[in-house]
Amino acid sequence: MRTVEILDVRTENCAVKTLIFNDKLCGKAEPGQFVMVWIPGVDEIPISLSGITSDGRTSITVHGVGDASNTLNQKQKGEIIGIRGPFGNGFVPYEGNVMVVGGGTGIGPLMPLTEKLVEIADKITVMSGVKSQENLLFLDRIDNVFSGVNSETVYTTEDGSYKLTGFITDQAEQKLMKEKFNMIYTCGPEPMMYKMFLLAEQYKVPLQASLERIMRCSIGLCGSCQIGKLRVCKDGPVLTSEQLRSVKEEFGKFRLDSTGKKIKQP
């Protein structure tokens, strides 16, 4: 554990903020890896990195949904938080034609990956789905990353307030029907990622998915993040198609709550 000072706070939308800090170890992280963030006097929670630079300037993007994340969202420039990590296995960048699919704040961990992909991929299609226009994230950042690159962006809102109406998985299926992709990357609500997994299997495209689970130890000891025989903190958080096939009875359907009881995914 080390403490870092928050250098800046950016409001991304009505419920999401990005906290920026300097940390040398995080500067060496791979896209998709996560850190354990300690909120003094409250709790420690896992958050994937949404910004990684070689000089150590790092960011985490936080959706205020619980006590810890809401408290973290209220932090101001100059305040102190604790950091452990980075932990886990990240995304593996591939060449060729790749698809990046984010649901809600899941687009956050996909941004450092996208910034790497533009250096090696032949074409990148980024797809982002949210409930409403007010929930959109990183529109300008995506535009800047894609400047002068062979790319395509697809946005959906469930209420039709921005671009296409409906679910991002439906648009992904339309793309898969028309184009051959070499890899799919996804992060977001687990039922959405399960749908992407099924589509990847149907169209015979390898997939990498970043899962979110309750994590306590972050090093594979406590079992709070278990899915089947896998421990998300150590075997993931990014799991491959092969790994997901081994846990398909639970993936997208069940998770462990804070007491270790198996419950249905919302």
Range 96-264: architecture per CATH:
3-Layer(aba) Sandwich (3.40)
- 261: pLDDT confidence band, cut at 50, 70 and 90? confident
Query: 244, 197 in Cβ contact below 8 A?
Result: yes
Residue 160 has pLDDT above 80, yes or no: yes
| Cα–Cα distance measured from residue 183 to residue 158, given in angstroms and rounded to the nearest whole number | 26
Checking if the pLDDT of 259 tops 80, the result is no
Lowest mean pLDDT among 63-72, 157-166, 227-236: 63-72
H-type alpha helices, the chain: 67-73, 107-117, 139-145, 168-178, 190-202, 232-235, 241-246
pLDDT tens digits, 21-56 = 999 999 999 999 999 999 999 999 999 999 999 999
- Per-domain residue ranges of the chain: 2-87, 96-264
- Residue 220 pLDDT: 87
Lowest model confidence (mean pLDDT) among 91-100, 218-227, 250-259:
250-259
pTM above 0.85, yes or no: yes
Give pLDDT, residue 265: 83
The percentage of residues in the chain with a pLDDT greater than 70, rounded to a whole number, is 100
Topology annotation, domain 2-87: Elongation Factor Tu (Ef-tu); domain 3 (2.40.30)
Region 1-28 average pLDDT = 96
Structure tokens at 189: 């609500």
